[in-house]
Amino acid sequence: MEKRVYTYEIIEVCLLAGKIMLESGAETYRVEDTMTRIAMSFGIDHSHSYVTPTGIIFSIDGADPAKLVRISERSTDLRKVTVVNSLSRQIASGILSPQDALTQLRQIEKERDAYPLWIQIFAAFISSGCFLIMYQGQWHDFLPACITGAVGLSGVIFLHRLLEIKFFAEFLSSVVIGLLAFLFVKIGAGHEIDKIIIGSVMPLVPGVLITNAVRDLIAGHLVSGITKGAEAFLTAFAIGTGIAVVFAFY
């Protein structure tokens, strides 16, 4: 009985570690590798995991049934991925027991955004202007691009809380970005509307998702790679459609 409880805790540790990593934007092969290494560190040499962007199936050889964890929300929080990786190394070193690891993982899962909302918006503010300059925009469009990018990211964050389908939030935020860029050019505060829009939408571009899709495909995880690629395409399509709607009317 004690051995069964011990095995159950190990399975819970592996599943929770994989769940946190997958929800935080980790690659599929990294999640599977981390879960396998944690199981081996606790003395389970034969474990099996199957990870997709929407779920994790994990089992070990024996009488214990396979367990499934559903992944309904995904974001990008590479700090959590790093923390879980560090935790897995401590487990491999024999520093943590299954109970201690499970406690720490539950604390990590409860943590919200690594950075306050105002820092995220400020980062979008600065990066939008920098992207404008990088794409050969003029300095007199720097401030309009900063403001437009900050408003666009704010719109995505707040609309995600209201709308279950995130692509609608990205579409509406892109419409707002297009309207603001047009307004700045109309009143004379901006000059090149295309450069302002390009700089402003860059904080919304799913760069990590595209990178992970390519890495999963290279690693042979075809289902996950294609799925993440489709999600990245839909996000890019929502952004482009929102901007196209503004240009269609103006």
pLDDT in tens, 151-201: 999 989 888 888 777 788 899 999 999 999 999 998 888 888 889 999 999
For tokens 């860059």, the residue is: 202
Residue 175: predicted pLDDT: 93
**d(Cα 64, Cα 11) in Å, to the nearest integer?**
10
Residues 210/211/217/223 CA torsion (nearest 10 deg)? -50
Helix (H) or strand (E) holding 23: helix 2-23
Average of per-residue pLDDT values in the chain: 87
Please state the length of the chain.
250
Asked if residues 109 and 20 have their Cβ atoms less than 8 Å apart, the reply is: yes
58 beta partners? 49, 67
Distance CA 59, CA 34 (A): 14
Alpha helix stretches (DSSP H) within 51-165: 78-92, 98-110, 117-134, 142-162
Structural Rg of the chain based on CA atoms: 22
Q: What is the pTM of this model?
A: 0.79
Closest Cα to residue 85, out of 23, 34, 43?
34
